[in-house]
Amino acid sequence: MLNQLKIAYTKKALEIFGSIKGRDIVDVNDTDFTDIASVVMTDTDEDRFVFDKEMLFSFNIPVFFIKTKAGLV
């Protein structure tokens, strides 16, 4: 049986958005992205190092931004 992929959140994104019912979650800092369906982060997160992770692009994992303030993201 295949396990369902997890959603990786930054701490701030999890506070604002909350988890998705029925999905396991993981902190974006605690994953190697092999079991991740998507990444959720905010425009104020300093965890943007996530874009340096080769696995994120190798697996074509979508990244969703939560806009929390005015201005460009």
| In the chain, where the domains are located | 6-66
pLDDT tens-digit profile of 20-40? 888 999 999 898 888 999 999
Closest C-alpha to 24, from 7, 2, 1: 7
Looking at per-residue pLDDT, the higher value among 27 and 3 belongs to 27
Average pLDDT over residues 49-60: 76
Q: How far lies 5's CA from each of 8, 10, 26, 63, in Å?
A: 10, 17, 10, 14
The pLDDT assigned to 69 comes to: 78
| pTM: predicted TM-score of the whole model, two decimal places | 0.81
SS3 27: strand
Looking at per-residue pLDDT, the higher value among 57 and 38 belongs to 38
